Structure 1
């Protein structure tokens, strides 16, 4: 029996386990998702035609073995030739349809930087068992985080920054055992941080700045071994800085500025040789500056301005390996400013509005 070329091709595809079209159910879900959105400028949804959503549908990728949709990646910023050609970034209105939840093989969902997408995150999103990346940054999304967000056991990236999300952070978030990147910055989130946030043992970045978070910094954060970047700035956080944070082994950036933090500066914080950027400005920290600086001290930024710190500037600070930006203004510091590096390259503005600091670069003679 002779096989035609077409038949041979079919046999080869079947033998290889390759499917060359998406499932009708996934296509139906995508069409419903599209119908809830309006994108007037670029026409990216004009590519969503025909029965095969796995090929040439903008932003859609499928598993070649079964034709199931794996990735839906729609970014509104100019990272693609379609944006370069149009000479503009994207703009889209509408909402996220719950039909997305029918894409139960989805591993990546990115609908980012479209500026006009509103409505809430569909609560059924937590039923997607394979979801690894959820990125909805840069929209107008409202409502709160799903209460059972912790069901997304495979999630590694949760980025909901620059939206209008309200409500508390669900305590179930600590069940995201694989989460590495958390960004909830620039929203309207209220309430306290979960006390057992330290259970997120894989997390390397936690950005929750520019919200309305209250309460104290959980001590458990210090147990997140891999955490390199912690930003809780511009909230309403109170209480003291847990001393344990100063012992975190890979923490490089700590931004706690513009809160209501009180208490003394932990000695461990300024003696941590791994910390590179520390901004604790605009709080109510008091007590003395710890005299713990060594030749291994290296700060690109050390901002302690607008607090209630008192006493002298530690002379050991002049032994530091490098201090790029030092800001001590608006405190209650007193005494002579040490000489030599790094003080010889700092301007007077770094020391103004203290009780009785004197010496260069201030004009006040000791």
Structure 2
């Protein structure tokens, strides 16, 4: 009997010692286990076990705040999960109150709308939901999440219109909604994004109407509005003061403006310019020859005329970059004479 008592005491001591050594907050662990259950217990999350520490490296995609020694879960990376049937985004994610980074990607069987419970994540800074079959509208409740720095909802099945309220987010650096079914115009309120807002990518959607003149106020570095049905003047995205502009893609729209009148005098870091398949007219501006870092250029299938400026990197691009214009000529196209 004495020997049995000693064994029991040893087991109890080991259990107590394990409990003391575990860093994971019990509420966070409970939330994570619920998320696993809500997703049908996918194989990739098999390391999420109730008798192990969720702050240990064994818990796939989970990170805890070790810098401040609070050990609260602050990062959740759910990607490439093989779900046995269609599941929605678990509302139980909202039970991780210290979450700063949420990454959900490449999950074909993830469906349904973005749950309103995500608005409870008052410390969230980076929100990525990409390459899924999540549907519905981009929710208005995002404007309540004042800590957000980046929102990326690329390549889902989202529809509806762009919420004008997004511009009220005071810390936002960029949004990417490429590859969805979003329709309607770009809201004029998008010109009121904060000064540090630099990324606007809305390609491969169903956007219509004119590019708002208010976007001229923004100091954008990366712009991709390609493969929509946008019309009219896009020169508001250029300007002599655009010192941060690095890449701009407006290809495959219905844009009509005089390219020769755009100003790029301070856009010395411009690396990519894609304007193909529009109705752009005028001539190629001479300032393009001064762009030292230009790596890609395509102005084909427009109504451009005149001689391609000589110098800089413009002759390094082949004929396909300039082809199918009204009367564009000069190297690498045939001579103007």
Identify the TM-score tier after normalising by the shorter chain: 0.7 to 0.9
Contact 2:216 2:237 in 1 (8 A): yes
Q: What is the SS of the residue equivalent to 2:231?
A: coil
The counterpart of 1:110, out of the listed 69, 77, 81, is 77
Is 1:365 matched with 2:336?
Answer: yes
Q: Distance in 2 between matches of 1:126 and 1:49?
A: 19
| 1:238–1:343 distance in 2 versus 1, CA, 3 Å | same
1:134 paired with 2:138, answer no
Aligned CA distance change for structure 1 residues 136 and 69 (closer, same or farther; 3 Å): farther
- Is the alpha carbon distance of 1:178 and 1:50 closer, same or farther for their aligned partners in structure 2, counting shifts above 3 Å? closer
Between the aligned partners of 2:124 and 2:78, the Cα distance in structure 1 is 16
Contact 2:226/2:249 (8 A) holds in 1? yes
For residues 32-63 of structure 1, the C-alpha deviation after alignment (integer angstroms, 9 at most, x for no partner) is 55453131xx7x63672647666685346678
| Structure 2: gaps spanning 5 or more residues | 1-12
User: Secondary structure, in 3 states, of the residue corresponding to 1:354?
Assistant: coil
Alignment of 1:313-352 (within 5 A): 313-352=284-323
Is the CA contact 2:35–2:93 (under 8 Å) kept in the aligned structure 1? no
SS in 1 for 2:143: helix
2:198 counterpart residue number: 228
Identify the structure with the greater strand proportion: 2
Which segment is superposed worse, 131-140 or 180-189? 131-140
> Is the contact made by 1:239 and 1:261 (CA closer than 8 Å) also made in structure 2?
yes
Report the count of equivalent residues: 312
| Residues 122/360 of structure 1: CA separation in 2 closer, same or farther (3 Å cut) | same
Aligned residue in 1 for 2:3: none
The 2-side partners of 1:195 and 1:26 are apart by: 34
Between the aligned partners of 1:302 and 1:52, the Cα distance in structure 2 is 49
Instruction: Name the CA distance, whole Å, in 1 between partners of 2:26 and 2:291.
Output: 65
CA distance, structure 2, for counterparts of residue 291 and residue 31 of structure 1: 55
Aligned to 1:196, what secondary structure does the other structure show? helix
> Which ranges of structure 1 fall in alignment gaps of 5 or more residues?
1-9, 72-106
Q: In 1, are the aligned partners of 2:28 and 2:95 still within 8 Å (CA)?
A: no
Q: 1:255 to 1:360 in 2, by over 3 A?
A: same
Take 1:56 and 1:326, find their aligned partners in 2: how far apart are those partners?
44
Bigger shift: residues 258-267 or 289-298 = 289-298
Q: How much does 1:269 deviate? A: 1.8
Per the alignment, residue 37 of structure 1 pairs with: 41
Task: Return the alpha-carbon distance in structure 2 between the equivalents of residues 150 and 333 of structure 1.
Answer: 48
Q: 1:124 to 1:310 in 2, by over 3 A?
A: same
Alignment partner for residue 217 of structure 2, among 233, 247, 253? 247
Contact 1:47/1:56 (CA < 8 Å) preserved in 2?
no
Alignment of 1:153-302 (within 5 A): 153-222=122-191, 223-249=193-219, 251-267=220-236, 269-271=238-240, 272-289=242-259, 290-294=261-265, 297-302=268-273
For the residues of structure 1 that align with 2:178 and 2:327, how far apart are their CA atoms? 34
Residues in 2 aligned to 1:28 and 1:236: alpha-carbon distance in whole angstroms: 41
Measured on the aligned residues, the alpha-carbon RMSD in Å equals 3.3
**TM-score normalised to the size of structure 2?**
0.80
| Pair 1:121-2:89 in alignment | yes
Q: Do 2:33 and 2:50's aligned partners in 1 also have CA atoms closer than 8 Å?
A: no
CA distance in 2, matches of 1:52, 1:296: 50
How far did 1:287 drift?
2.0
Task: Check the 8 A contact 2:111/2:132 in 1, yes or no.
Answer: yes
Match of 1:164, SS state, is: strand
